[in-house]
Structure 1
């Protein structure tokens, strides 16, 4: 049988993966087989860490709200319950920003919610 040279499609596929891995170190960016494995791992890690970043920011916002609410004599869970009871809905990101930037307003706000 005659030798079949793979055309530009296979080369384009390999170059696409090697271009993706161009910032990796050593053979991870030079050899196709290793670069393919590293690309797979990189994409898995990227997706996992995007989800982790959402969790981390939520934890940070809750910690900031909790620290600000403690000055009013409440805990975070009591504060959220009072907000729910008074039918006030505000996301944690905004509450954390208010708690850090406008501390006096947030303390009066939490006092009003308690009553």
Structure 2
């Protein structure tokens, strides 16, 4: 069997891996072995944290909705139960934005849900849907 010299292939592979590690500090960006270990660790962390980011945002939205609901005298669980009971399909991200940027509409939603009225989105204040972004 003939001898295979891997010089150019191995160099290209190492060069590509070190290119991925270009922003790392110290030897992690210049030495192949440590750079390769850090790349493997970084890719594993990014995969894990993509799921964690989704969980963290959901927790944040729930916290914001809970705070706004408690300002109106209702707990988060009762508010969500009223949403399901009245078949309102709105996600927590949108509800959290309404709770922060348009507190009057959020309190209107709470009052209508607790009284059992049907909710139509056109009854909310128009400045929330006009495209303006107001900071609290």
Q: Which has the higher contact order (CA 8 A, sep 6+)?
A: 1
Alpha-carbon distance between aligned partners in 1 of 2:71 and 2:6, rounded to the nearest angstrom: 71
Q: CA deviation at 1:113?
A: 0.3
Taking only aligned residues, the RMSD between alpha carbons, in angstroms, comes to 1.6
How many Å apart are 1:4 and its aligned residue?
5.7
Query: How many residue pairs were aligned?
Result: 114
Q: CA deviation at 1:7?
A: 3.3
Q: TM-score, normalised by structure 1?
A: 0.92
User: Where do 1:2-13 residues align within 5 Å?
Assistant: 5-13=5-13
Structure 2 gaps, min length 5:
116-136
* 1:41 matched to 2:49: no
Q: SS in structure 2 opposite 1:24?
A: coil
Q: TM-score, normalised by structure 2?
A: 0.78
2:86 is the alignment partner of 1:95: no
Specify every segment of 5 or more residues in structure 1 that has no aligned partner in the other structure, as ranges.
none
Moved over 3 A (4+): none
**How far does residue 51 in structure 1 lie from its aligned partner after superposition?**
1.4
